[in-house]
């Protein structure tokens, strides 16, 4: 597992010519006539087939004399915000209670329409809605921690209690109350694409690649189990997770220490507990995992519990392979599973 595996050439060619963003991070395309290399999703004019070659990593393209495309920026991690958006996110972190308006964006040298499109694409809401939702998430967390609804509303930038309650109901479909849990979520950019991370006041409860097909179902199940609402924001657990993930992808960390909150059935809990005990840079099979939990005939049930894992990488379901050693299903895609194993094996 020491080499980067790529799809067949015909598949890569089709993905590149169609601008398929789902292949971003899987391979890179060098254009011989221009000397640049691109992501598969690059919107630049497509070259002739005889003038392109494929690479498994951006580093390989660089070593072969190609320079990165200025349009698709293949040296940045997939999902990395543009520099101006990154600056805006940092400003929001520094003052999460601020009530943003279009004139504030223009004063910062930003085009409101551009900001709106980026947030709609990556967060499903406008920047202003995102900023309001962050304030709301912080306020609901304060209520959860014992602050009165009135104090929480005014402390987090809401001008009236009725406005706060309307915002809560509009975004969550429920009312502010102390029994309601808040899951704060943020994007974390990794070399394998953007991930969505979520945490409560007890620990990290969600970490999944944003393009996973079952993502919405997993989130709905999580919200039901925790009696929670999902809102953008951050806390110390998410900050710690971001730092540990970067160390992991750099090959400097083999065991995560950030606290986890893992609601599930007793059987799921048992499977996930044993998954966390699979050593770094090793693999196991569903059958072996079933034997470890004392249920040797429950391989299929173990596989289902593995697929229901909502904490990718942290609960290392990528270390489970077929009985013959072949890669089996992975919610984030088999190519990511292979890359995660590559990262661990190369340390």
As a whole number of angstroms, the distance between CA 216 and CA 239 comes to: 23
pLDDT score, position 246: 93
pLDDT score, position 259: 97
Which residues does the annotation mark as catalytic?
A: 38, 317
CATH class of 9-68: alpha beta
pLDDT score, position 175: 62
pLDDT score, position 311: 97
Q: What pLDDT tens digit does each residue of the chain (347 aa) get?
A: 345 667 788 989 999 999 987 788 789 999 999 999 999 989 888 999 999 999 988 888 998 899 999 888 888 776 678 888 889 988 988 888 888 999 999 999 999 999 998 888 778 889 998 888 888 878 888 777 777 777 777 777 676 777 777 777 766 666 656 567 889 999 898 888 889 999 999 999 999 988 787 888 888 899 889 988 888 888 999 999 999 999 999 889 999 999 999 999 999 999 999 999 999 999 999 999 999 999 989 999 999 999 999 999 999 999 999 888 888 888 888 888 988 998 898 76
Multiple choice CATH, 263-345, 1.10.10.60, 1.10.3720.10, 3.40.50.720, 1.10.10.10: 1.10.10.10
Q: pTM (2 decimals)?
A: 0.72
Q: Are strands 181-190 and 36-38 parallel, antiparallel or unpaired?
A: unpaired
- Domain residue ranges of the chain, discontinuous segments joined by +: 9-68, 78-179, 263-345
Q: Please indicate whether the domains covering 9-68 and 263-345 agree at the CATH topology level.
A: no
pLDDT score, position 179: 61
Domain 78-179 has CATH 3.90.1300.10: no
């Amino acid at each position: 597992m020491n080499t980067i595996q790529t799809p067949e050439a015909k598949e890569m060619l089709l993905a590149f010519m169609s601008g398929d963003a789902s292949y971003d991070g899987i391979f890179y395309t060098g254009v011989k006539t221009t000397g640049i290399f691109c992501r598969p999703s690059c919107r630049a004019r497509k070259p002739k087939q005889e003038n392109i070659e494929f690479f498994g990593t951006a580093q390989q393209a660089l070593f072969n004399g190609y320079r990165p495309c200025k349009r698709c920026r293949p040296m940045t991690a997939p999902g990395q915000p543009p520099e101006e958006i990154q600056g805006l996110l940092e400003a929001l972190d520094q003052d999460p209670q601020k009530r943003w308006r279009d004139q504030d964006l223009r004063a910062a040298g930003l085009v409101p329409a551009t900001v709106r499109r980026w947030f709609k694409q990556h967060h499903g809401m406008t920047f202003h809605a995102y900023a309001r939702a962050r304030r709301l998430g912080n306020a609901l967390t304060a209520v959860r921690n014992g602050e009165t609804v009135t104090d929480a509303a005014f402390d987090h930038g809401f001008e009236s209690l009725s406005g706060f309650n309307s915002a809560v109901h509009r975004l969550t479909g429920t009312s502010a109350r102390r029994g309601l849990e808040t899951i704060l979520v943020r994007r974390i950019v990794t070399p394998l694409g953007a991930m969505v991370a979520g945490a409560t006041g007890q620990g990290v409860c969600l970490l999944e690649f944003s393009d996973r097909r079952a993502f919405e179902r997993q989130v709905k199940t999580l919200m039901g189990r925790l009696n929670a609402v999902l809102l953008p924001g951050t806390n110390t657990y998410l900050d710690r997770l971001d730092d540990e993930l970067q160390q992991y992808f750099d090959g400097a960390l083999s065991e995560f220490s950030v606290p986890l909150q893992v609601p599930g059935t007793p059987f799921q809990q048992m499977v996930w507990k044993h998954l966390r005990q699979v050593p770094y840079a090793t693999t196991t099979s569903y059958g072996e995992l079933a034997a470890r939990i004392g249920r040797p005939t429950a391989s299929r049930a173990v596989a289902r519990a593995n697929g229901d894992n909502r904490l990718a990488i942290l609960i290392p379901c990528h270390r489970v392979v077929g009985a013959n050693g072949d890669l089996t299903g992975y919610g984030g895609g088999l190519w990511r599973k292979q890359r995660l194993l590559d990262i661990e094996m190369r340390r």
